[in-house]
Structure 1
Amino acid sequence: MAMQRRIPVHTADVFPDGAYLVGPVEAVMDFNAGKRPDGSRPQQTDPETGLLVWSVPVLDADPAARKADKTVTIKFVAKVQPVPPENKSGMPFTPVDFCGLTATPYIAETGGRPRLAWSYRADGMSALSVKAVA
């Protein structure tokens, strides 16, 4: 069997020191589609399912992560906007676990030097039990 395009991973594989929501879930705009009469862009849809694409910024709590790699975007494909879990941690950011998380490798051309990068997608998210540091 050939390697799948989207590689299934666990949250702990990608974020061994934890993942924290640092912003709201937002619609991903389709910049390849034409603008609407009011000048706005339509929301991107997944070519495989036809469902809407949403994204949320996530902080990688790895203290050794480079500054450029500290915040990662996780995308969702869903009919309606995913709702983040309630933050009961006492911290400013919501600790989260992703369900159905996949990673897709691609080559990023930044500064004229190609590097391997990852695109992340999840089916859902749930609260992660973390005690606040006093």
Structure 2
Amino acid sequence: MKIIRLGAVLGSALAATSLLAASPATAASGSVDAIGGGARTWFGDADNIVIVSDRLGDYHGAVGWIEIKQADGSWNQRPATRIYVGAGEGSFQSIPVTVNREAADVRLVSCLQDGASGSPWNCNRKIISGS
């Protein structure tokens, strides 16, 4: 996985995807910031992509993932390994994901984390409806 700096290219891509997200064909797209900011997790259903970004130069990394609600009510984490970004403010990582239950609710999770093997903290969650 390659970590790159957030810039005009990402801003343009997110803006374009946001326009797609507004169309009726898109089931579930949205974002959530960690408590107090510093990290953001974004999911775009139209592109089947999760983007985690470090938003502050606060010496803390960002970690995020999505969870898909299953028919039995449980939540299935995607990607299976949480996405950690620790290269500083403006860095991000995007991972393609497959949502097997297209009409399912998706829970976004965004946290701060110190180091790839650290524990997530200041986590915030948001559920976006798949219907």
What's the TM-score bracket when you normalise by the shorter of the two chains?
Answer: under 0.3
The structure in which a higher percent of residues are strand is 2
The structure in which a higher percent of residues are helix is 2
* Larger-gyration structure (1/2): 1
TM-score by length of 2: 0.25
